[in-house]
Chain A
Amino acid sequence: MTYFLLFFTIHDVLRAEKALKGHHVDMELVPVPRNLSSDCGMCIKLRGDLDGVKPYINGIEMDKCVSYDGKEYRTIGGR
């Protein structure tokens, strides 16, 4: 499963990236998919174990967390 983690600001995206990289999580920053938000910014895309990495970014408020199974986007968390 692929996950897109959307945050309110680029500041929080970079904060989350720093936290995840600090724990060697395999992730990348990608432009926010237009079907998920009209923001012009970036979001975090990661594969695999979402629950395992969530504690690393606990303190950062997430706008939206979306799963993607190759066919369908599903909002599974966020504000």
Chain B
Amino acid sequence: MIYLDNAATSFPKPKETIDLLNEFVLNIGGNPGRSGHTLSLDAARFIFEARERLAALIHAGDSERIIFTQNGTESLNLAILGFLKENDHVITTSFEHNSVMRPLTFLAKEKRVSVSVAQCAHNGKLDVKDIKKLIRKDTKAVVVNHGSNVIGAVQPVGEIKKTIGEIPIIVDACQTAGSFPVNVAEDNIDILCCSCHKGLYGIQGLGAIYIRNGVDLTPLKFGGTGSRSESIEQPLFLPDKYESGTPNTPGIAALLGGLRFIERTGIEAIIRRKQDLRQSIVSSLSDIPGILLYGDNDDRKQLPVISFNIKGKLPSEVGYELNKREIYTRVGLHCAPVAHRTIGTFPEGTVRVAPGYFTTEEEIAIFIQAVREITKIS
């Protein structure tokens, strides 16, 4: 079995992830921050440490600015629905995932929010000037995909923020967190959304959002927080304001394991390894006759997310053949129809190959050989 779908979720997980998940479920199990007993407190400690380490990884400073959510999609919904108000104007790009496009479309229909889309080039490159041109007096935010889940292109979020000045930037870092340098302090990011089960090596069912001090969002959820229990009003302090209800503590424990793995291995080493894997796949695929590769493949500083097609074949046929050989990729539109329109692969989509830190050169060689065989099937 060869797993090349790490852009959907990373697999396998590091030993630390499984160890801490086991430790929590077997020996802790309490509901954090709710009761005064040791197991409740121990559960809260897992969350505290995960929050601290995630804050350190993305250079967030104060860890209370990190909020845990169900997934990257919930983080983006909290950012977009919680920040934009009726009649606001927002700018986004033609490389966004539906977790950005759908809440924006909802706001456009229901709250008369006006959405402008900056067109990226077919290779994923975004000209920052194109965002600047779209700024209006009533522009309230710019929502930008940091790293593409279709072709792995990375956008210069720091440069974009410099260009838009005081206008808040909302960054979708679902693909980049743990796979590319993310620095909210240096890049002056206002809101950063990520999932925790991809490059951060947690398990599915956990996301996070960083909210800069001074940025206020309307929560998506209201309810019990274990704090201010005498009041029927939602607390205003973080992280409780945005974290109502029992959290996914097993998921957060697993994330803590993932973050310890990243620290032990070194984020630079992980990023280097992933970029090398991308390079290796891209150069091998480009040698195969009949392969259509998307994106800018001269740029080494991209994510290990590669899209291709075989001339004359549907991506679904290629995915089927790979699956028969126990090679797991993801075919289709990857929940990003606007990105596929931008690269010219809508509506069929592409075959997406996403190696992970644990992918070996041998596995890549087997995958490449399989693609060669599939190109020859008539």
Contacts and interface: CB of A to CB of B under 8 A. Distances in A.
B156 interface: no
Contact of B34 (A15, A38, A40): A40
A15 B36 contact: no
Interface string A13-28: 0110010000000000
Contacts of B45: 14
Interface string B48-65: 100100000000000110
B344 interface: no
A15 B41 contact: no
Contacts of A37: 230
A8 B36 contact: no
Nearest to A43: B36
A15 B52 CA distance: 9
Contact of A30 (B33, B35, B36, B51): B36
Nearest to B231: A38
B48 A39 contact: no
A15 B235 contact: no
B44 interface: yes
Interface in A29-43: 29-32, 37-42
Given A9-B239, A41-B227, A14 B44 contact: yes
Contacts of A53: none
Interface in B223-253: 225-230, 235, 237-240
Nearest to A12: B64
A37 B64 CA distance: 22
A10 B35 CA distance: 11
Contact of A40 (B36, B64, B237, B240): B36
B41 A8 contact: no
A24 to B, nearest CB: 19
Nearest to B43: A10
A71 interface: no
Given A11-B64, A14-B48, A29-B41, A42 B36 contact: yes
B32 interface: yes
A47 to B, nearest CB: 19
A73 to B, nearest CB: 17
Chain A, interface size category, equals: 10 to 19
> A10, A18, A40 — which one has the most chain B CB atoms within 10 A of its CB?
A10
Interface string A60-79: 01000000000000000000
Chain B, interface size category, equals: 20 to 34
B237 A41 contact: no
A18 B229 CA distance: 25
Nearest to A37: B230
A27 to B, nearest CB: 14
Contact of B237 (A8, A31, A38, A42): A8
Contacts of B64: 9, 11-12, 15
Contacts of B238: 9
> A14, A30, A39, A41 — which one has the most chain B CB atoms within 10 A of its CB?
A41
A10 B227 contact: yes
Contacts of A39: 226-230
A36 B159 CA distance: 50
B240 A8 contact: yes
B60 to A, nearest CB: 13
Given A8-B240, A9-B64, A9-B240, A40 B48 contact: no
Contacts of A12: 64
A62 to B, nearest CB: 12
Interface string B351-369: 0000000000000000000
Interface in B184-232: 225-230
B44 A8 contact: no
29 contacts: A8-B227, A9-B33, A9-B227, A9-B235, A9-B238, A9-B240, A10-B226, A11-B48, A11-B51, A11-B64, A11-B240, A12-B64, A14-B45, A15-B63, A29-B41, A30-B36, A31-B36, A38-B229, A39-B230, A40-B34, A40-B36, A40-B226, A40-B229, A41-B33, A41-B34, A41-B36, A42-B36, A42-B41, A61-B237
Which 4 A-B pairs have CB atoms at the shortest separation, nearest pair first?
A31-B36, A10-B33, A38-B230, A14-B48
Given A11-B51, A41-B33, A41-B227, 10 more contacts: A8-B227, A10-B33, A10-B44, A11-B48, A11-B239, A11-B240, A12-B64, A39-B228, A41-B36, A42-B41
